[in-house]
């Protein structure tokens, strides 16, 4: 029956003018007042034909209505966290009205009573999920004054927008925040005071403003696994398994161009599997097939709480399976992170959608090594570049590393045709770029080149970033550029590349040092700048042959500034062996004359004038020498910079450390006082040692990544056994 709805209070006025009498109407008015509280649910209204409908109500009907008003009066005031219970109690008040005469009931309530609208399913409230039947998983993280929310959906479905509901520490409602972007998966709250407790839940709504529902996934049908190889054991010893095909892989001795478990044959210049290789690898996993009869689930998350305050690092065990080498890390948001590394001689990715509570493992490549990751938020693509034989390969994941899209694109040189192997393309790195793409840098025979890689694996022509100079050119030349690191500010089209280069020494021989080039449309146009040494000074001025290496760079968004870190071999005290230290270099401290700057006070082992270590107070002022190695750097969207490294007494296992850095901080060392310094002290992130690979080129971490919200993540391979020399678990630490 068509009807115009009114609030319960207005219907009470109609009761007053009819047979129900004024006492019942006054009680109903008082009963309804304020009962809905701050909930999104309400007391259902009556029809505009109430007076006429009441005339059709029998004496028994009116007694039922009196009991209904009494029941409503006994309802508590609704609060968002208890909305589901309140709705159940409200509907229980209405349930007896099903026995009303048809004319009386339809005249007052239409064709449906609360709890069974139009005979359909029960209405869905905005209360948080409490039984695991919601289709959203929510993560909330908090630092000293901010909170970050990120959510993922367990079912596909159409959402017009999102509602972020919250209550404070006392349970009082905080005004709901609407997020209009259907593809949004994050939300931030800033400027909170320390010690603020908030509880959040997220609701997806459809175009009509109702709670949206997901679609039950279809059970996966049988698929043809194909006849391709799945790993090296399924190929002859003289072949590798290359994306499902057994084939010969060219290599070049001494370059480490063969995948794990293979060696480069001196006679054939091809990779040959070594005895005992591939003894075991982590098991790939997925979500499995959907449960039979799975129902559509509402886009409502569980309730998650966080409190602002001092933020420390929390551990996540990514993989208990022993890790081989070279971890890489990408942070998508507060919920989603991904790590890639070599395990059992193959490249595996480990991805999480709930901040490390669960991990999904997938095979990236059976023959890759030394992977790097880049997440492009615009296209939602995770890019991976890595070494395969004498070339570099790029693949893309649409699922944040949970699995990898079909296909790959290779950057390679053809064999010269005289029987010798192809020139080597090596040492890639990759960063997000404009239009949803990535920017790839590779070390090639004649220098460093960058190429854009599309979401569809389209590859642009190469652009020179740095051309190797002649090794015969004297002490002022730099050659054999290798191990590049790249970072970008896509919004400003700024690109920074730092790398290790070789140079001649005055006394003969060569040395390695670290350099940087950059491209900024406002300063260099479409070309890269000339190379600058991160350690400053004219090229011929340093005659020492100690090595600077392992440079990493991060660009501060929106400022044109960049930070680089590098490992430097330093002369020990008289009669002692050299030690390794980690330095920071800054770019853009002077906006008018941007250049790299570093100094003695930018070492993590900097001391005050009485010998105390300012940045790393865990190191005693006297005692055995320490090493700091494997630096990494990451920058949050807020501009906050974190530097990480591994440090410890020489001959002892080293531990992971992290310390802040700021362009605005003033150096505490009087002889080098100026802006741009650490935010000490360095924090020991974990008590588990970093694996010590000795003089091997294998890397253990730590590696760093910053997500698009407020968290920074540090990952590394744990070391066990004598001297922490045996690689063990893959670990990840999140702050906050």
Q: For 360-381, how does the pLDDT look when each residue is reduced to its tens digit (9 = 90+)?
A: 999 999 988 999 999 999 999 9
Q: Which pLDDT value is given to residue 457?
A: 96
Q: What is the dihedral of CA 560, 565, 571, 577, to 10 degrees?
A: 180
Check residues 258 and 151 and name the one with the higher pLDDT. Answer: 151
Q: Which pLDDT value is given to residue 198?
A: 95
pLDDT, average across residues 670-687: 89
Q: Which pLDDT value is given to residue 1?
A: 34
* Least confident segment among 143-157, 257-271, 446-460, 551-565: 257-271
Residue with token string 């190797």:
468
* Residue 124: band (very low, low, confident or very high) from pLDDT cuts 50, 70, 90: low
* Residue 6: band (very low, low, confident or very high) from pLDDT cuts 50, 70, 90: very low
pLDDT mean across residues, the chain: 85
Instruction: Give residue-wise pLDDT tens across range 555-596.
Output: 999 999 999 999 999 888 777 788 999 999 999 988 788 889
* CA gap 334, 189 in Å, rounded: 13
pLDDT above 50 for 736: yes
* Residue 77: band (very low, low, confident or very high) from pLDDT cuts 50, 70, 90: confident
* Least confident segment among 190-204, 224-238, 286-300, 399-413: 286-300
* CA gap 649, 213 in Å, rounded: 57
pLDDT above 60 for 25: no
Q: Which pLDDT value is given to residue 109?
A: 67
* Residue 49: band (very low, low, confident or very high) from pLDDT cuts 50, 70, 90: low
pLDDT, average across residues 437-462: 97
- 514 Cβ contact list (under 8 Å, min separation 6): 498, 499, 500, 501, 533, 534, 535, 548, 549, 551, 564, 566, 585
* Least confident segment among 23-37, 470-484, 499-513, 614-628: 23-37
| C-alpha distances out from residue 175 to 113, 164, 168, Å | 30, 9, 10
Q: Which pLDDT value is given to residue 3?
A: 35
pLDDT, average across residues 702-728: 95
* Residue 110: band (very low, low, confident or very high) from pLDDT cuts 50, 70, 90: low
pLDDT above 70 for 103: yes
pLDDT above 80 for 80: no
| Per-domain residue ranges of the chain | 5-119, 556-675
> What is residue 599's three-state secondary structure?
coil
pLDDT above 80 for 152: yes
For residues 137 and 89, the answer to whether their CB atoms sit within 8 Å is: no
- 310 Cβ contact list (under 8 Å, min separation 6): 144
* CA gap 726, 736 in Å, rounded: 29
* Least confident segment among 46-55, 143-152, 384-393, 568-577: 46-55
Instruction: Give residue-wise pLDDT tens across range 196-223.
Output: 999 999 999 988 888 999 988 764 433 3
* Residue 606: band (very low, low, confident or very high) from pLDDT cuts 50, 70, 90: very high
pLDDT above 90 for 614: yes
Percent of the chain with pLDDT over 70: 86
Q: Which pLDDT value is given to residue 23?
A: 47
pLDDT above 80 for 235: yes
Q: Which pLDDT value is given to residue 86?
A: 78
Q: Which pLDDT value is given to residue 118?
A: 44
pLDDT above 80 for 31: no
Q: Which pLDDT value is given to residue 14?
A: 39
pLDDT, average across residues 161-165: 95
- Angle (CA) 541-547-548 rounded to 5° is 85
* Residue 9: band (very low, low, confident or very high) from pLDDT cuts 50, 70, 90: very low
* Residue 505: band (very low, low, confident or very high) from pLDDT cuts 50, 70, 90: confident
Q: Which pLDDT value is given to residue 115?
A: 55
**Hey, which of 271-285, 382-396, 497-511 has the most confident mean pLDDT?**
382-396
* CA gap 274, 266 in Å, rounded: 14
Q: Which pLDDT value is given to residue 260?
A: 77
> What is residue 628's three-state secondary structure?
strand
Q: Which pLDDT value is given to residue 26?
A: 59
| C-alpha distances out from residue 673 to 397, 540, 549, 611, 676, Å | 46, 27, 26, 17, 9
* CA gap 376, 382 in Å, rounded: 6
pLDDT, average across residues 146-166: 94
pLDDT above 60 for 46: no
Q: Which pLDDT value is given to residue 302?
A: 95
| C-alpha distances out from residue 357 to 139, 142, 354, 382, 522, Å | 10, 17, 6, 21, 44
Determine the straight-line distance between the first and last CA of the chain, rounded to whole angstroms: 56
Instruction: Give residue-wise pLDDT tens across range 51-60.
Output: 666 677 788 8
Check residues 475 and 12 and name the one with the higher pLDDT. Answer: 475
């Amino acid at each position: 029956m068509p009807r115009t709805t009114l609030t319960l209070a207005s219907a009470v006025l109609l009761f007053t003018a009819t047979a129900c009498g004024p006492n019942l109407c006054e009680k109903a008015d008082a009963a309804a007042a304020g009962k809905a509280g701050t909930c999104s649910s309400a007391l259902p209204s009556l029809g505009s034909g109430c007076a006429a409908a009441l005339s059709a109500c029998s004496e028994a009907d009116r007694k039922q209505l009196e009991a209904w008003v009494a029941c409503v009066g006994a309802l508590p005031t609704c609060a968002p966290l208890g909305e589901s219970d309140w709705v159940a109690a409200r509907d229980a008040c209405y349930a007896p009205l099903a026995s009303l005469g048809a004319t009386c009931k339809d005249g007052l309530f239409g064709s449906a009573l609360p709890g069974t609208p139009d005979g359909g399913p029960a209405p869905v409230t905005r209360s948080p999920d409490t039984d695991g039947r919601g289709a959203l998983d929510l993560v909330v993280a908090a630092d000293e004054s901010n909170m970050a929310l990120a959510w993922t959906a367990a079912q596909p479905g159409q959402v017009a927008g999102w509602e972020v509901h919250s209550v404070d520490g006392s349970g009082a409602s905080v005004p709901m925040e609407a997020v209009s972007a259907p593809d949004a998966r994050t939300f931030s709250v800033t400027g909170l005071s320390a010690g603020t407790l908030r509880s959040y839940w997220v609701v997806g709504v459809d175009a009509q403003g109702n709670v949206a529902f997901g679609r039950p996934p279809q059970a996966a049908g049988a698929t043809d696994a194909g006849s391709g190889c799945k790993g090296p054991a399924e190929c002859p010893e003289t072949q590798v398994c290359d994306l499902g095909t057994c084939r010969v892989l060219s290599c070049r001795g001494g370059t480490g161009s063969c995948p794990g478990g293979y060696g480069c044959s001196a006679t054939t210049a091809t990779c040959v599997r070594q005895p005992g290789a591939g003894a075991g690898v982590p098991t790939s996993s997925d979500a499995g097939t959907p449960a039979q009869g799975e129902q559509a689930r509402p886009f409502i998350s569980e309730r998650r709480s966080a409190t602002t305050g001092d933020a420390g690092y929390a551990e996540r065990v990514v993989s208990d399976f022993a890790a081989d080498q070279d971890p890489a890390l990408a942070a998508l948001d507060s919920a989603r992170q991904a790590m890639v590394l070599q395990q059992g001689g193959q490249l595996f990715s480990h991805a999480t959608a709930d901040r490390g509570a669960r991990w999904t493992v997938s095979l990236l490549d059976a023959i890759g090594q030394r992977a790097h990751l880049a997440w492009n938020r615009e296209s939602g693509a995770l890019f991976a570049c890595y070494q395969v034989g004498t070339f570099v390969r790029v693949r893309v994941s649409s699922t944040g590393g949970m699995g990898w899209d079909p296909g790959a694109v290779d950057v390679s040189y053809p064999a010269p045709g005289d029987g010798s192997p192809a020139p080597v393309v090596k040492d890639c790195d990759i960063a997000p770029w404009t239009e949803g793409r990535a920017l790839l840098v590779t070390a090639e025979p004649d220098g460093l080149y960058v190429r854009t890689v599309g979401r569809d694996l389209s590859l642009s022509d190469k652009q020179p970033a740095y051309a190797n100079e002649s090794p015969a050119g004297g002490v002022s030349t730099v050659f054999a550029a290798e191990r590049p690191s790249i970072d970008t500010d896509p919004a400003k089209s700024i690109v920074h590349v730092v790398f290790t280069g070789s140079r001649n020494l005055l006394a003969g021989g060569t040395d390695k040092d670290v350099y940087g080039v950059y491209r900024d449309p406002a300063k260099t146009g479409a070309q890269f700048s000339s190379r600058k040494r991160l350690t400053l000074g004219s090229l011929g001025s340093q005659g020492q042959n100690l090595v600077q290496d392992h440079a990493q760079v991060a660009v501060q968004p929106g400022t044109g500034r960049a930070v680089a870190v590098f490992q430097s071999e330093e002369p020990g005290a008289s009669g002692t062996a050299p030690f390794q230290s980690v330095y920071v270099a800054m770019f853009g401290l002077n906006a008018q004359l941007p250049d790299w700057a570093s100094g003695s006070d930018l070492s993590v082992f900097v001391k005050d004038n009485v010998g105390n270590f300012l940045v790393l107070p865990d190191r005693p002022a006297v005692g055995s020498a320490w090493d700091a190695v494997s630096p990494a750097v990451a920058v949050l969207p807020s501009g906050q910079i974190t530097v990480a490294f591994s440090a410890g007494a020489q001959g002892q296992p080293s531990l992971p450390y992290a310390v802040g850095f700021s362009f605005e901080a003033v150096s505490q060392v009087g002889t080098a006082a100026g802006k741009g310094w650490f935010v000490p002290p360095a924090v020991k992130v974990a008590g588990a040692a970093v694996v010590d690979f000795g003089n091997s080129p294998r890397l253990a971490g730590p590696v760093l990544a910053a997500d698009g919200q407020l968290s920074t993540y540090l990952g590394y391979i744990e070391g066990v056994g004598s001297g922490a020399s045996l690689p063990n678990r893959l670990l990840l630490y999140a702050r906050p």
